[in-house]
Amino acid sequence: MAQDSRPPLAAADLFKLAFVGDCRLSPDGKTVAYSVKTTRFDDNKYVSHLYRVPAGGGEPQRLTFGDHSDTMPRWSPDGETLAFVSSRHEDRAQIHLLATGGGEARRLTDLDGSISALEWAPDGKHLVIAYRPHSEEQIARREADKKDEGGKRPRFQVHTNVHFKEDGIGYLFDTLTHLYRVDAATGETLQLTDGQTEDGDPVYSPDGKTIAFSSNRMFPIEDHLDNADICLVPAAGGPVTRLTTEYGPNFAPSFSPDGRTVAFMGCFCGQGESFWRDGHLWKVDVKGGEPVDLTPDLPTTVGNQCISDTRDVGMDFERAIWTPDGKTLFFLVSEEGSCSIYKVATAGGKPERITPLGRELGGTSADARTGRIAFSVSDHTHPGEIAILDVAEGSEPRMLSAHNKEFLESHWVGTPEEIRVTSAPGVEIQGWILKPPGFQEGTKYPAILEIHGGPHVQYANTFFHEMQYLAGRGYVVLWTNPRGSLGYGEAHTKAIVKDWGGADSIDVLAAVDHLVAQGYVDETRLGVTGGSYGGFMTNWLVGHNDRFRAAATQRSVVNLYSFYGESDFGYAFEHELYGRPWDDEETALRYLRMSPLHYVKNVKTPLLIIHSDQDHRCPISQGEELYTALKMLKREVAMVRFEGESHGLSRGGRPQNRLERLKRIGDWFDRYLEPGAGAGTR
């Protein structure tokens, strides 16, 4: 068999990929609009533009151009206009309207804040948005900065909410996201909701008189971040009605065709339990009453809970799709490393998977008349592209776009082997092994264990550039979904509650044992890396054994006691952990015992610490605590601080910083694991 001579994916190849998503099927079911994000590497930024492609197949057509980002394409009810959000004016995102017959986009709004949702009213006269306006303080600071050339003015902030910052956004200045109605002709806005709550997921009823949305209306927001209610508000403004009255996170409302019922995703649970509970699909009458669980026997969770480095972080709850007769709902389910489309009868019955396992689907959009569902689809060897499914025909999804085809065909992209490992006590763990290009039997290779963040998400059958990159440098790469991961039932997810570093570490080490037993890995040249909770696990492992020759911990949790107050919502973890760390001495000791910093004296493994100085999820002080301790202990450690980056550096950081991160990780492992001559040149 001839050896594949194509080059493997290098670090910089991440920025030659097109990131495709957010597709929307036109009202007549004949066209799919979607966004494509690409990299302007020399300018150290991304741009995003809109495309459309015939649903029956054909060449995609680019609709927008320029040195900016256009996102959230939304068809008007008559299909003649696309509304979207664009940064083309002074980097302030505004709603624009584009006639689908051709011509220039027209700016509709003059807003000063951030837009996180956009939907049309059924009559096409209005849109509803979820919008966080900048505060008077933020605007005043911005204007003062323009005049303050010498940097002499006082610089300070005043906060009164406990939730005063959010990763990827920054400091909130006590602003909140609410719903606004936008006139589609004039751009005039009307605020529909207010209060000490965050509002999102808006959708119009079929008659256009009501808007359903998700919001925590049960408690002040700072007290209960894991609660969200399904609510209704008149489209012209008025009092808010809560449809769900029990505690729990509930999202993505969707009206039935007759407007009498709302379907939604989520669960009802005790406070704090939402971290490990599986989400279900529910329905509730718009007049109120007890919600009905349509998927009580679903063995896993609804929504897309997959993670990747070629799209934004997972944990997406997308609206369920109703059939025109209101008798069936289509929805996404995350299970065993995949995300698939299911259907269920609204009268009750067993949910049925209609797309096969082995892929990640997302961004679903449907046309009720044609029975078509459009979505993005990815697998281990292909980043997301647009596909369509004709439900009535029960056919295999048809691919509509291939933005990465030419590039991928010119490079080696490995197909990982799926494994099932039995961990103590008899628990099956799913994982994947990716071998390097030119793999030869009889040769011993170094290996790297990758551990995902969360912890309650899942690695999936989806494209992960970092795994391909490390394999291309000569490593066998191993990644798994240990206990704590979603997609395998609540018992699997709950197994690490109040026990981070327990069952999860047993599982990942069992997977390492399995890999070593295959005979082609040198167990003296093992590395480990992970980010966020995966960074916690990396720190935990090197603090409890000397099995790894090198480690790279990224945006990690080090000290759970300080993490409680430093993280943007660390206090919400008190039920995942042990309550509040100052409750009593025993609670404080539990936080200490579950903190990797407590075991820092045991760390002998050379450790690279990667952290970002604008990380509000796992603040950089976490990494600094670990770095200082290891330096005082005279251990082998280095720390790389990325300036101006948030927790999501590996997924959405500035291109040149993302490249530097990958190179630093690769070079660190090359230094200690010695994958072969020339391995560090890419």
The CATH code of the domain that includes 485 is 3.40.50.1820
Copy the structure tokens of residue 506.
């047993």
Q: What is the pLDDT of residues 162-194, one digit of tens each?
A: 888 888 888 888 889 999 999 999 999 999 999
Q: How far apart are CA 255 and CA 250, in angstroms?
A: 15
Q: What is the mean pLDDT of the chain?
A: 92
Is 491 a member of any domain?
yes
Task: Determine the pLDDT at residue 682.
Answer: 39
Task: Determine the pLDDT at residue 162.
Answer: 80
In three-state secondary structure terms, 252 is: strand
Q: What is the pLDDT of residues 550-597, one digit of tens each?
A: 999 999 999 999 999 999 988 888 888 888 999 999 999 999 999 999
Single out the residue in 173, 199, 233 at which a domain terminates. Answer: 173
Single out the residue in 144, 173, 202 at which a domain terminates. Answer: 173
Q: What is the pLDDT of residues 384-441, one digit of tens each?
A: 999 999 887 666 889 999 999 999 999 999 999 999 999 999 999 999 999 999 999 9
Is 630 a member of any domain?
yes
Written in H, E and C, the secondary structure of 448-476 is EEEECCCCCCECCCCCCHHHHHHHHCCCE
Contacts of 112 (CB under 8 A, 6+ apart): 92, 133, 134, 139
Is 298 a member of any domain?
no
How many Cβ atoms are within 10 Å of 219's Cβ, its own excluded?
15
Task: Determine the pLDDT at residue 76.
Answer: 97
Q: What is the pLDDT of residues 91-134, one digit of tens each?
A: 689 999 999 988 899 999 999 999 999 999 999 999 999 999 99
The pLDDT-based confidence of 223 (bands split at 50, 70, 90) is low
Single out the residue in 152, 173, 194 at which a domain terminates. Answer: 173
Is 69 a member of any domain?
no
Copy the structure tokens of residue 478.
């191993």
557 in Cβ contact with 625 (< 8 Å):
no
Q: How far apart are CA 150 and CA 138, in angstroms?
A: 19
Is 302 a member of any domain?
no
Copy the structure tokens of residue 598.
């407590």
Q: Name the residue range of residue 478's domain.
A: 414-559+595-676
Strand partners, 339: 334, 360
- Whether 1 has a pLDDT exceeding 70, the answer reads no
Is 564 a member of any domain?
no
Task: Determine the pLDDT at residue 151.
Answer: 66
**Averaged pLDDT for residues 30-41:** 95
- Measured torsion, CA atoms of residues 334, 340, 341, 345, in degrees rounded to the nearest 10: -50
Q: Does residue 432 or residue 324 have the better pLDDT?
A: 432
Is 292 a member of any domain?
no
Please tell me the total count of domains within the chain: 2
- Residues assigned a catalytic role: 532, 647
Task: Determine the pLDDT at residue 224.
Answer: 58
Strand partners, 421: 429
Task: Determine the pLDDT at residue 220.
Answer: 60
Task: Determine the pLDDT at residue 419.
Answer: 98
Is 632 a member of any domain?
yes
Task: Determine the pLDDT at residue 103.
Answer: 86
Phi, psi of 356 (to 5 degrees): -75, 160
Task: Determine the pLDDT at residue 138.
Answer: 83
